[in-house]
Amino acid sequence: MSVGSDRSKCILHIGMPKTGSSSIQEFLGTAQTSGALDSAVYAWPTQPNHSAIISNAFETAPAHRKRFHPQKPEFEPGTHQRVRAEIASLKQQAERTTSTGQRTFVPVVISGERMSLMSDEGLGSLCETLHDIFDDVASVCYVRPLSSYLASAMQQILKHGPADFDECTRPFNYKKTFSRLDRIFGAGNLTLVPYIRAHLAEGDVVQDFLSRIGISVDAETAVTTNTSMSREAASLLYAYWLANTPKGQKYTGVKSNSEIISVATGLANTERTKKFGFDKSLIAEILKRERENVVWMADRLGLSFDDMYSASEGIEGGIASEADLLAYVQHPDIRARVEAIVETGQHGDEKLSLETLNGLRAMLAAFPGQGERPIQATPIQGDLVSELETAPLKEVEKMAAIDIDHDLKVKFAQAMWKSETGRNFASGQDDAARSETMELWKADRTEMMQKAAKLIRALDTSGIAVSMTK
């Protein structure tokens, strides 16, 4: 058991983003919940990233609240008072009694990388509250070198939606960010640690942070989350989002998010897989423009410019342009594998949603292989067709003479089937009749799709144009 200190202390872990914060938070949250954490108290362990709790309680700037709390843009004094009382109770939880009866305290830890993005007023209010409650307040922040930060940040964006290549290669403003935090917390109360393996305890950020708050842990128990993706997976995700969402528009299809990440990582899992990172030439160009910014950060960390520069270098043969990022998805082998997924409607054993399949079709159309031209993909409709295609079947016949629109083929197949069977898909049917109709259609669908394809091709070769009408 830790004997603690005779002074109460709060440790703020405030990022920066992409420096293993999630791994630190997950470890401490799990340890606190399981009762294994004795030499510190981790706040709100069931919500281990405290960014939202803290900013909601202390952020007063309207613009910041609108950005981070769109559902509650107005500052609520009651929330502030409640969280303040909860922090005061954390101090009581941190109190210990030694064998001699002496009262001591273990540190209270609050962690949230997004806290560093709060306004001066919000952070100032937080600091004032903490100093009112605790004897000492200290802050720890990890600083990631430029190249790996940009690469990691872009991967995280791609997991959730579209990324703008130019935005993703815009350098982090170290000087502006950390000079502001120095001013608010006081440089003597803010410890900045290089997020460089050689500078971390055991080469691991979780171990390093735990050592700074007096906790020792075996290497095997350290947690790693937000693992990196390959260059190939990033390429597929970038092309998918680019083909399906306008620039700057945030994608909200949660199901497609998980599905397309599974597809991208699965297709990229080959012997040719490369690490995702930006090319040395691109990073060198950025560092040249940002020399003053990097020099300031190196000085603040106690590193030489050469140390900071070498840690910020890109990788040989990395991504130097948007064209490099899209090259993988235009490779014949990967295109054939994506086409197979679209045709079968499955990736491995996983049946994909209509939304994801249409997204992949749009991606193939927007980014053709060498010697091909971009086309506009016609999406499969999501009303009756999506109900009848709960398990999309492989197209048996490839149309070499003409590119038959999928929607058109389905409509022809359904029309011929209704004519032959006397069945229909009327919405007025009761549930039992409708279910029977769908089961019969599924049984005949492959044959009817073949007949439809042959008919459309025969009409086309006879000079009869066939197209969809709204």
d(CA 313, CA 376): 39
337 touches 243 (CB < 8 A): no
Q: Rounded to two decimals, what is the model's pTM? A: 0.74
Residue 436: what pLDDT? 76
Residues 331-353: b if buried by 16+ CB within 10 A, e if exposed: eeebbeebeebbebbbbeeeebb
Q: Is 438 left (phi over 0), alpha (psi -120 to 50) or beta?
A: alpha
Residue 67: what pLDDT? 84
Paired residues of 104 in beta bridges: 96
Give the H/E segment covering residue 109.
strand 108-111
Q: Compute φ and ψ for 192, nearest 5 degrees.
A: -105, 130
Residue 225: what pLDDT? 59
Please, what is the Cα angle at 94 between 89 and 96, to 5 degrees?
130
245 touches 330 (CB < 8 A): no
Residue 303: what pLDDT? 93
d(CA 334, CA 267): 7
Residues 6+ apart with CB under 8 A from 326: 235, 238, 239, 242, 367
| Nearest Cα to Cα of residue 379 among 424, 410, 401 | 410
Residue 450: what pLDDT? 75
Residue 468: what pLDDT? 59
Question: Which residue numbers in the chain have pLDDT < 50?
Answer: 1, 219, 253-255, 374-403, 470
Tokens of 403: 């590119």
Q: Compute φ and ψ for 191, nearest 5 degrees.
A: -95, 120
24-70 confidence digits (pLDDT tens) = 999 999 999 999 898 999 999 999 999 999 999 999 999 999 888 88
- Whether the ω angle into residue 16 lies within 30 degrees of 0, i.e. cis, is yes
C-alpha distances in angstroms, 231 versus 37, 41, 66, 275, 318? 38, 39, 35, 5, 8
Residue 403: what pLDDT? 46
Strands (E) across 236-369 are located at 346-347, 350-351
